[in-house]
Amino acid sequence: MKQLLEQTWRLNRTIVSDDLNRTLDIIGEQIPLTVHQFPTGSRCFDWELPHKWVLREGWIEDEQGRRVIDTADHPMHVISGSLPVDRVVERSELLEHVSCREDRPHAIPYEFKFYELDWGFCMSCDQLERLEGERFHAYIDAEYVPGSLRVGEHVIEGALPNSIVLMGHIDHPAQVNDGVIGSIALVELARRMAGRDTRFTYRFMFVPERIGSIAWCANHQEMLPAITGGIFVEMVGLPYPMALQYSRWEDTRLDRVARLVARRADPELIEGKCWELVVNDDGFLNSPGVDLPVLSLSRTRGGNVFHHFPEYHTSDDTPDLVDWQNVEDTISVLERIIAIIERDYVPVRTYVGEPHLSRHGLWVDWRVQPELSRNINAILHALDNRTSVFDIAERLDIDFDEVYGFIEKMRAEGLVEVGPELPWYTRENPWERLASREEPPLPVVLPAGQD
């Protein structure tokens, strides 16, 4: 993971750019990757995909010809998406096109203008204070050209048609926690899952933030009904508590599994409703009409969504901030969620009443397994041929593996059998209709100008 971070973090990874494409190539060297390409300028729902932004160089020179700032020193010195400029300007005009962050005076801020086009630079407040003179040469060699917005997808095919999406974004130049670290964690998770036989299909998506999901969904609408949920992963290397943001419905099976796992993994867990904590592609995927229940897993101080951590959207967001144990712990939570989803089933009794535990070697020693011993009667009484192993663990707030291991022993003794395949949605929510496929898929939106 450290090697992958070193290869990618300093790249000028804007939403449609050579360096974002290069990032996908680097990921593709680690795991098999299908790269979807969507023509820039095409319409996707209410959005138009921006053209490819090419930045060759950008700098400001003072009257003595000294370079004040230069993209050769840091790619964030030019606002992402900036229009070109080659002019000598007065100080007052230059300052109208310069961004800095007073709360991080030593850092270069990250700004972008892909939809409100203009030219501009970013510098630290310290650099701005050292700016001397009244006339400056502002130079940005950049242009927009037709190209393709790219989305990387790694698929682990399962036995069921149901898909679970695991997403991270790979844009935001020269920044680590806001972006690429989540994708790096997902690459590692995909590597660990390689070669496994799974029930569900897992789609690992590496996207330019927000617009990547919009483009993929607009061009794959026939696949949306089979996506039963997802998790967006970001900011997982920060030295803060884990943050779990639920889907719009909050009570899908994936919401509930993630809640149980995350609460047991981090006693300081921060929980939030949809759109409340860290909002990225999950915001669009949960939106009306798309209706995909996607969670977000990150690390944050909490509070205002635009103040996730002090170094947010600045050049201070470097590898030095990464707590690799926190990255590993987040991957472990994802592995636990997947393990529960994969193993959960409805046990169907083959006996009446209560089984004679000692006769079947099922008696539990309270000194060895105290939690299971305290709950064993409640587990037995929950075996109503409708309740899943996870449902029991959630209801009793005990470790899934304790319940699963005990019921598997019962299955080995012939006391229970595996029931019909679980419905993914066991509580009322609007998405149950899609999971059951009782209604046709969402209408296909054609590009503008087509009937």
**Which of 132-136, 353-357, 367-371, 375-379 has the highest average model confidence (pLDDT)?**
132-136
For residues 243-263, average pLDDT? 94
Dihedral sign for Cα atoms in the order 165, 81, 27, 192: negative
Distance CA 96, CA 119 (A): 10
pLDDT of residue 308: 77
Tally Cβ neighbours within 10 Å of residue 53.
25
User: Residues 334-346: pLDDT tens digits?
Assistant: 999 999 999 999 9
User: Residues 145-202: pLDDT tens digits?
Assistant: 999 999 999 999 999 888 999 999 999 999 999 989 999 999 999 999 999 999 999 9
pLDDT of residue 214: 97
For residues 398-412, average pLDDT? 94
pLDDT of residue 281 exceeding 50: yes
Ordered DSSP codes for 46-90: TEEPPPEEEEEEEEEE-TTS-EEEETTT-GGGB-BTPPPEEEEEE
pLDDT of residue 134 exceeding 50: yes
Ordered DSSP codes for 406-441: HHHHHHHTTSEEE-SPPPS--S--TTHHHHHT-SPP
Q: Which residue type does 47 have?
A: W
> Which of the four pLDDT bands, split at 50, 70 and 90, describes residue 427?
very low
Nearest residue to 2 via CA among 325, 302, 301: 325
Number of continuous H segments (helices) and E segments (strands) in the chain: 13, 18
Distance CA 239, CA 327 (A): 10
pLDDT of residue 438: 42
Model-level pTM?
Answer: 0.91
pLDDT of residue 431: 39
Q: pLDDT averaged over the chain?
A: 91
> Which of the four pLDDT bands, split at 50, 70 and 90, describes residue 302?
low
pLDDT of residue 370: 84
Q: Which residue type does 340 have?
A: I
- CB neighbours of 393 closer than 8 A, spacing ≥ 6? 260, 399, 400, 402, 403, 404
Nearest residue to 394 via CA among 384, 406, 386, 403: 403
- Structure letter (DSSP) for residue 348: E
Tally Cβ neighbours within 10 Å of residue 264.
15
> Which of the four pLDDT bands, split at 50, 70 and 90, describes residue 304?
low
> Which of the four pLDDT bands, split at 50, 70 and 90, describes residue 369?
confident
Tally Cβ neighbours within 10 Å of residue 55.
23
- Helices in 266-399 by DSSP H: which ranges? 281-285, 324-343, 370-381, 389-396
Nearest residue to 448 via CA among 115, 47, 149: 47
Whether the CB-CB separation of 153 and 33 falls below 8 Å is answered with yes
Q: What stretch of H or E contains 38? A: strand 34-39
Residue ranges with strand state E in 40-197:
43-44, 47-48, 52-61, 67-70, 85-90, 98-99, 121-122, 135-145, 148-156, 163-169
pLDDT of residue 448: 52
pLDDT of residue 389: 96
pLDDT over 70, % of the chain: 92
